[in-house]
Structure 1
Amino acid sequence: MFGELWEIFVLSVRDGFVQVSAFVAITVFLFSYVQYKTDGRLIGWLESNHRAQPIVGALLGLTPGCGGAIVVMPLYIRGSVTFGTVVATLIATAGDSAFVILALAPEAGLYAYGVGFGTAILSGYAVDRFGFGVDRVDQAVSRLNPTATDGGTVANGGVVQCTKTNAPAGVGSQVHHYPDESCDHESTARESPFMTRVNLGVLALWWVIAIGALAAGVTYLARGAPEVALVANTGFAGLFTMFGLTGTTLSFYLYFVGRRYIGHGRMEQASDAFDSTREALTHAAMETSFVTVWVLAAYLVYEYSVVLFSLDIAGIAAAAGLVTPVAGAALGLIPGCGPQIVLATAYSEGSIPFSALTANAISQDGDALFPLIAMDKKAALIASVYTTVPALLVGVGLHLLVGPMFGFGVLGG
């Protein structure tokens, strides 16, 4: 039994980085690099084109990872985009679980996120045009969680909240408050010239390994996602193993140690633009390291649960019927990408139906909800309500119309 558990651990450490993290790295870097090269001009255009905001918000949310969606949240708090844009962005947000699905079940990912994108646009415009009871939800949430409205700076549960009252009229709904531009939410790195140099060296090595892992991952997919032996040699399997094990090890180091010295350690924060290519590379590496930690945790939770408890997760999900997409939508209420990565991993193993994957894709907000929670908890809670309702409708509707569709689009399935 110990030998089997150890093999599962090593394979998870290896496969997670090559099959998922390497693709995360290049995607996040490309998005960050575009932000750097455009110097945030996309954001300026968005602020001046209100009618296009829900569509652009949905497109930003659709980008794998949470970077695009995170950009939108401070814009809403500043009064630059509408509440419907926030809803559209969060509904379309694929989160970091998108990397798992696109790597292991690309056809399913395209369909699920395509449905989510269409739902996001319709919901965003509907909220802006008709409200759909935003006022009543706002009042109900106010009774549950009063929010500071005096334009001051208050300590709320240990989170500093900065607001101002001179917000532009007619933007979004009344659920939001606007931050004082002098309030700085950025975390600072520790001061240690020696450790900074060490960690920058680790960061450079990480990118070398990531590029090698990306080449191995592309080759792996081109070969039809075959089983790869766990060996140490100079052949494809050996390089696949070396890149995977080294990449995950360096990612854990960067996430738990390196971020304290080179910054970019808080995934819930993002700039409108980056100052240099180096900063874009650093941000991409740190966000990918975060994803790597959660992907490994998801792999191990799933695989160890199956082995230790002899679980038939696919059988349980099949017996659950309509409860499964409802559970997928409910799981999306949890902020962050960790639980969603677990669900995506389970889908890639053929254990949950496509309807549950789609419901979760619509409901989940990923890391994008964290800056909104930090700046206005009431708006974050209301936005979660408005992303969960369409998730339930679409998830249950898909289950009734096309069936559960276990294993749809999974490579090698």
Structure 2
Amino acid sequence: MLDELLEIFVFSVRDGFVQVSAFVAVTVLLFSYVQYRTDGRLVRELREHERAQPLVGALMGLTPGCGGAIVMMPLYVRGTVSFGTVVATLIATAGDSAFVILALAPEAGLYAYGIAFVSAVLFGYAVDTVGLGVGRIDRAVDRIQTTMTDGGATTNAVHAPGGSHVHHYEDATAQAARDPEDPIVEDAACAAEPTRDSPLLRRVTEGALALWWVAAAGGLVAGVLYLARGAPDVAMVVAPSFAGAFTVFGIVGTVVSFYLYFVGRHYVGHGRIGRGENTFANVYETLTHAAMETSFVTVWVLAAYLAYEYPVALFNLDIAAIAAAAGLLAPVAGAALGLIPGCGPQIVLATAYAEGAIPFSALTANAISQDGDALFPLIAIDKKAAVIASIYTTIPALVVGVGLHAVLGPMFGFGVL
């Protein structure tokens, strides 16, 4: 049994990087470049086009990862966007689990996130039209008892705990000196972590970043060949062959990802080490952001693989049979899991779907309900708005998830490569 558990661990370390992380790296790199190139422009356009806000919020949430959604949260507190925009953004938020689904089950991902996007736009506009914002909730509560509320107070030192972060913002002081009216200035502090001072570990981390990109490039080639060959079983060998490259790049990539996520990120400041004022145009910053974001996904993908494979091996479980027996409770559970802030639990669910363990209805319900890391800054800035928004995102998740399950059935393995 110990040999079997060790084998599961080593194969998960290798396969997670080649099958998922290498593809995530390319996606994050492309998104990072677009994200840097548009910093600040979206906010100015949103002020001038109020009717388009829920639609834009849904588009920002739909982008893989949580960066686009995180940018939108503080804008609500400042009155730049409506509460319906916040709800639309959170409903459409794909989070880091999107990278897993798009790599392992792209067709299912396109349908699930497409449904989430439509739900986000419709529900976001409905919230604004009906007037179901925080103010109305406050007035209803005040009729019953006097309450103390956050009132949407904004702070200049909000920190979003846990999960992935938006790494690309430069120091808030430098940015404020150039443009004190920039609505992103106050959020730079919550998007960045302090950098520890160690020239040696900084150089080691920069070397690890270079090695990580070599592994990512090699892993991407191996991953493409793996899919082109019909996703066959790959032997665990170290040799000048396809299987050897698959093994070496996979293991090295995961090991370096763990170093970057748990140690290295503290010494390169997520790429913010004075590499130029115009960070969105800086190649080093872009590559560092993509590596750090993908390293986070890699850590959780491995955790997800093990969380699925170990119980199955230890208890001889048939997860698909259990989920099938759950019936309509499966999408309800998917929606409930989405109430948990952060991307880790959602990555576990996405991996389970790719393994054929849960139905498409549960995946879709979770895609609609999950708020990813975007909920953290909103919790820190305005707790009441965060709670209400999270409840609002669960309503369409339950309706759509249960409806899909009732009409189309469970659809296990739909769109899985």
TM-score, length basis structure 1: 0.87
- Cα distance, 1:119 vs structure 2: 0.5
Q: Which residue identity lines up with residue 86 of structure 2 in the other structure?
A: V
Distance 1:264 1:122, change over 3 A: same
Aligned equivalents of 1:71, 1:316: Cα separation in 2: 39
- Cα distance, 1:180 vs structure 2: 9.2
Partner of 2:100: 100
Instruction: State whether structure 2 residue 8 is matched by structure 1 residue 8.
Output: yes
- Cα distance, 1:74 vs structure 2: 2.4
- Cα distance, 1:410 vs structure 2: 1.3
Please list every run of 5 or more consecutive structure 1 residues that lacks an aligned counterpart in the other structure. Answer: 160-177, 267-271
Instruction: State whether structure 2 residue 200 is matched by structure 1 residue 225.
Output: no
- Cα distance, 1:353 vs structure 2: 0.8
- Cα distance, 1:141 vs structure 2: 7.9
Aligned equivalents of 2:120, 2:152: Cα separation in 1: 33
CA contact (8 A) 1:141 1:378 kept: no
Over the matched positions of the two proteins, sequence identity in percent amounts to: 72
Partner of 2:172: none
Instruction: State whether structure 2 residue 371 is matched by structure 1 residue 369.
Output: no
Instruction: State whether structure 2 residue 337 is matched by structure 1 residue 331.
Output: yes
TM-score, length basis structure 2: 0.86
Partner of 1:64: 64
Count of residues in correspondence between the two structures: 389
Distance 1:149 1:401, change over 3 A: closer
**Which is further off, 200-209 or 351-360?**
200-209
- Cα distance, 1:155 vs structure 2: 10
CA contact (8 A) 1:138 1:382 kept: no
Aligned equivalents of 1:218, 1:12: Cα separation in 2: 18
- Cα distance, 1:145 vs structure 2: 8.7
Q: Which residue identity lines up with residue 131 of structure 2 in the other structure?
A: G
CA contact (8 A) 2:361 2:401 kept: yes
Q: Which residue identity lines up with residue 348 of structure 2 in the other structure?
A: V
Distance 1:150 1:254, change over 3 A: closer
**Which is further off, 147-156 or 124-133?**
147-156
Distance 1:56 1:136, change over 3 A: closer
CA contact (8 A) 2:158 2:187 kept: no
Alignment of 1:150-169 (within 5 A): none
Instruction: State whether structure 2 residue 287 is matched by structure 1 residue 281.
Output: yes
**Which is further off, 222-231 or 200-209?**
222-231
Task: Select the residue among 148, 151, 162 that pairs with 2:150.
Answer: 148
Distance 1:182 1:27, change over 3 A: closer
Aligned equivalents of 2:184, 2:100: Cα separation in 1: 35
CA contact (8 A) 1:363 1:391 kept: yes
Deviations 1:124-170 (A, max 9, x none): 111111124754544578989944349586999999xxxxxxxxxxx
CA contact (8 A) 1:35 1:273 kept: no
CA contact (8 A) 1:70 1:367 kept: yes
CA contact (8 A) 1:39 1:273 kept: no
**Which is further off, 92-101 or 242-251?**
92-101
CA contact (8 A) 2:22 2:219 kept: yes
CA contact (8 A) 1:32 1:273 kept: no
Aligned equivalents of 2:12, 2:147: Cα separation in 1: 41
Partner of 2:20: 20
Task: Select the residue among 307, 319, 322 that pairs with 1:313.
Answer: 319
Deviations 1:242-287 (A, max 9, x none): 1110000000000111011111399xxxxx9736221121111111
**Which is further off, 146-155 or 329-338?**
146-155
Aligned equivalents of 1:82, 1:320: Cα separation in 2: 38
**Which is further off, 83-92 or 385-394?**
83-92
Distance 1:65 1:236, change over 3 A: same
Instruction: State whether structure 2 residue 310 is matched by structure 1 residue 304.
Output: yes
Partner of 1:76: 76
CA contact (8 A) 1:138 1:378 kept: no
SS at match of 2:202: helix
Q: Which residue identity lines up with residue 367 of structure 1 in the other structure?
A: D
Distance 1:17 1:201, change over 3 A: same
SS at match of 1:229: coil
